[in-house]
Amino acid sequence: MIESKKLLNFLEKKNLNFFTGVPDSVLKNFTNLLSKKKSHVLASNEGSAVSIGIGYYLSSKKLPCIYMQNSGLANAINPLISIAHRGVYSIPCLMLIGWRGSPGLKDEPQHLIKGKITINLLKLLGIRYAIIEKEKDFKKISNLIDFSKSKKVPVACLFKKNILISSSKKNKNKNKKPILSNSILRIDVIRELLKNISPKTKIISTTGYTSRELYQLRNKENFKKGKDFYMIGGMGHSSSVALGASIYKGNKVICLDGDGSILMHLGALHTIGNNNNINLKHILINNRSHESVGGQEISFKRTNVEKIVKGLGYSKYIKIKDKKYLKKGVSQLLTSKGTAFLEVLVKQGSMQNLGRPKNFINIKEEFLKNS
C-alpha cells in the first residue's frame, strides 16, 4: 500500500505541479488531496482532461499529471491518438489510472470487462506503463517521467483497488460532509417520482448511487415492478439513452441524471432540446459532488443550469431546493408539455447497505417487454 500524501510529495519533487482529471474511487484518497490546490483542474470528462494537460504543456513546457479511471481511458483515446501521439504532435504527460477490474480482484461485471483489456489497450495505443503497488515502485514512476520527457510521449501508472490509502484519519471522511444544508436527499427524489408514475413509464438512471438507490427502492419498498434501465457504466450517456428510448412508439421516459454525469457530455442536452420529444422528462439530482467516487466537489457557482437547458431548447425548467416543494416540482415535470427539465438540489448521503443491480440480461429483457 502507498500513502497518498507520499505519492503527491514524490510527484511534486519530480516537478509535476499541475493536475487535472476525473475522480475515481481507486484514486480518491490521492485526488482528495488535490481539491485545495490552485494548480488543479477538475475536468468534465477524461478526453477534456487530456486536452487540458496538452494545453498546459504547450504553454509551460512542463509535464502535466492526468488522472482517471480505466473506464475513462476510452474517452481519452481521441486526444491521446490524434494530438499527443508521437506520430502527431508528440506531447508528454503522466497518467494515473485507477485499475478497476484488475485480474484476480473481485469487482462488478462491467469493471471486470474493462480491467481485462486495460493493459492491451495501453499497448495498442503505444503507451508505456507500470503497475504501482508499493512505495518502492516510485522508481518505476520516476523512470516513466524521464521517458515521457525525453521521448515526448504519454505514459501511464496503473493503481489497483486499495493500493492508495489515506494519509490521515482526520481527512478520511473530509468530503462526506453535506455540501448543501437543505433537507432533500437523492432517495427522496427517486421515491417521490416512483409514487407518481405508471409502472409502464420507463426510467433511465445514471451511474453510481442513483441507479443503486432506484434498484433498492424497487426491491425493498412497496413499489410495483417497473421499466428501469440502470446505467451501471457509460457515465454521461444516460440522457442520450433516454432520448433514444423515448422516440420509438412514443414511450414515456424519465432520465434520472446526476451533476457529474450531465457535465461529462453536456452536448447531449442540445440534441435532446432540439428534438423536443414530449415524452422525455429529465431530472437532474444535483449534490454538487462526485459522491460515489470520493465526494469531490463540483463547483456550480458560475453555472446557470436554467439558462443552459432553456438555451438548448428544453421547453420547461423547474428548480427545487426545499423538500416541501418536491412533490409539486415532480408533478409539474410530469404534467408539462414538451421536453421538461427538473433540477433538484440535494445534499450528500445515500441509503445504508445499498445493493447493486444484478442479472443485466434479465433487466434488459424486462425493459424490452411491451416496448
Please, are residues 345 and 321 in contact by the beta-carbon 8 Å criterion? Answer: yes
Residues 243 and 122 placed together within one structural domain of the fold: no
**What pLDDT score was predicted for residue 178?**
45
CA atoms within 13 A on the CB side of 179: 18
Which range among 249-263, 294-308, 344-358 shows the weakest confidence by mean pLDDT? 294-308
**What pLDDT score was predicted for residue 248?**
81
CA 344, CA 318: separation in Å to the nearest integer?
8
In a domain, 205, yes or no: yes
In a domain, 178, yes or no: no
**What pLDDT score was predicted for residue 189?**
96
Residues 17 and 154 placed together within one structural domain of the fold: yes
**What pLDDT score was predicted for residue 370?**
72
Among 143, 171, 199, the domain boundary falls at 171
- What the block records as the C-alpha cell of 327 is 412533490
In a domain, 301, yes or no: yes
CA atoms within 13 A on the CB side of 72: 28
In a domain, 177, yes or no: no
Residue type, 54: I
Query: pLDDT per residue over 284-332, tens digit each?
Result: 999 887 776 766 777 676 889 999 999 999 999 999 999 999 999 999 9
Task: Residue 267: name the closest of 313, 214, 222 by CA.
Answer: 313
In a domain, 181, yes or no: no
**What pLDDT score was predicted for residue 97?**
98
The confidence band for 181, taking pLDDT boundaries of 50, 70 and 90, is very low
Cβ-Cβ contacts under 8 Å for 66 (sequence gap 6 or more): 19, 20, 21, 49, 50, 52, 53, 76, 93, 94, 95, 96
Range of 189-193, 214-218, 223-227, 349-353 with top mean pLDDT: 189-193
CA 70, CA 102: separation in Å to the nearest integer?
10
Residues 263 and 361 placed together within one structural domain of the fold: yes
Range 242-246 average pLDDT: 93
Query: pLDDT per residue over 217-237, tens digit each?
Result: 988 887 877 899 999 999 999
Q: Identify the residue with better confidence: 248 or 149.
A: 149
Q: Is the confidence at residue 43, as pLDDT, over 90?
A: yes
Q: Is the confidence at residue 172, as pLDDT, over 60?
A: no
Burial class (CB in 10 A: 0-12, 13-18, 19+), 170: exposed
Range 357-362 average pLDDT: 90
In a domain, 340, yes or no: yes
Among 121, 146, 171, the domain boundary falls at 171
pTM given for the model: 0.89
Residues 160 and 273 placed together within one structural domain of the fold: no
Range 53-57 average pLDDT: 98
Task: Residue 351: name the closest of 223, 208, 198 by CA.
Answer: 208
Residues 208 and 128 placed together within one structural domain of the fold: no
β-partners of residue 258 are: 285
Please, are residues 39 and 64 in contact by the beta-carbon 8 Å criterion? Answer: no
Q: Is the confidence at residue 371, as pLDDT, over 70?
A: no
Q: What CATH number does residue 320 fall under? A: 3.40.50.970
Distances (CA, A) of 168 to 24, 32, 33, 162, 164: 19, 12, 11, 15, 12
Range 121-125 average pLDDT: 97
Residues 130 and 203 placed together within one structural domain of the fold: no
Q: Which range of residues forms the domain containing residue 161? A: 2-171
- What the block records as the C-alpha cell of 98 is 485507477
Sheet (strand 227-230) strand order: 227-230, 202-205, 253-258, 280-286, 340-345, 316-320
Q: How many domains does the chain have?
A: 2
Q: Is the confidence at residue 214, as pLDDT, over 90?
A: yes
